[in-house]
């Protein structure tokens, strides 16, 4: 029988290190950590993002991480710790697992951006693309 999303999340949670918003807030200036927002661009424009975070849409993640891909982003090859986040933490938990499987030191932000905001941590507006 095929796995459901709950089983996939449980498996990823057993494999991936997750950090809390409080832990991450104390590391925003750490140059060895890259926050990666995997939400849809519309979510970022509507809700903002964590200051200093990079954006990697979930649908492109594997292509952006893989150095053999024509879509590879060099910032994924810097040998840093990548902390993925989404709105609630589900998508980012799965994304962090993929990142680990692809060789990254990948973690997930428990509670996602929603938890980050609820705890009162700073947010920034997504820079709008110029036409």
Which domain CATH number covers 17?
3.40.250.10
Domain count, the chain: 1
Q: What pLDDT does 128 receive?
A: 63
Does residue 127 lie within any of the structural domains?
A: no
Q: What pLDDT does 3 receive?
A: 84
**CA–CA separation, 13 and 30 (whole Å):** 24
Encoded tokens for 90: 């589900």
Q: Which residue ranges in the chain fall short of pLDDT 50?
A: 131
Does residue 10 lie within any of the structural domains?
A: yes
Does residue 128 lie within any of the structural domains?
A: no
Query: Is the CB of residue 93 less than 8 Å from the CB of residue 12?
Result: yes
**CA–CA separation, 67 and 52 (whole Å):** 23
Does residue 89 lie within any of the structural domains?
A: yes
Query: Is the CB of residue 58 less than 8 Å from the CB of residue 86?
Result: yes
Does residue 125 lie within any of the structural domains?
A: no
pTM over 0.85: yes
Does residue 29 lie within any of the structural domains?
A: yes
Q: What pLDDT does 130 receive?
A: 52
**CA–CA separation, 91 and 123 (whole Å):** 20
Does residue 15 lie within any of the structural domains?
A: yes
Rounded to 5°, angle at Cα 112 from 19 and 91? 105
Structural domain that includes position 21: 5-118
Query: Is the CB of residue 96 less than 8 Å from the CB of residue 110?
Result: no
Each residue's pLDDT tens digit, 13-50: 999 999 999 999 999 999 999 999 999 999 999 999 99
Does residue 129 lie within any of the structural domains?
A: no
């Amino acid at each position: 029988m095929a796995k459901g999303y709950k089983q996939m999340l449980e498996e990823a949670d057993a494999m991936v290190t997750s950090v809390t918003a409080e832990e991450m807030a104390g590391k925003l200036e750490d140059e060895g950590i890259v926050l990666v927002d995997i939400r849809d661009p519309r979510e970022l424009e509507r809700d903002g993002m964590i200051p200093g975070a990079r954006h990697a849409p979930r649908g492109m993640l594997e292509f952006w991480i893989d150095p053999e891909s024509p879509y590879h982003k060099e910032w994924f090859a810097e040998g840093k710790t990548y902390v993925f986040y989404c709105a609630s933490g589900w998508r980012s938990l799965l994304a962090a697992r993929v990142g680990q499987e692809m060789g990254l030191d990948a973690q997930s932000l428990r509670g996602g951006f929603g938890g980050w905001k609820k705890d009162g941590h700073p947010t920034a507006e997504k820079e709008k693309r110029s036409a």
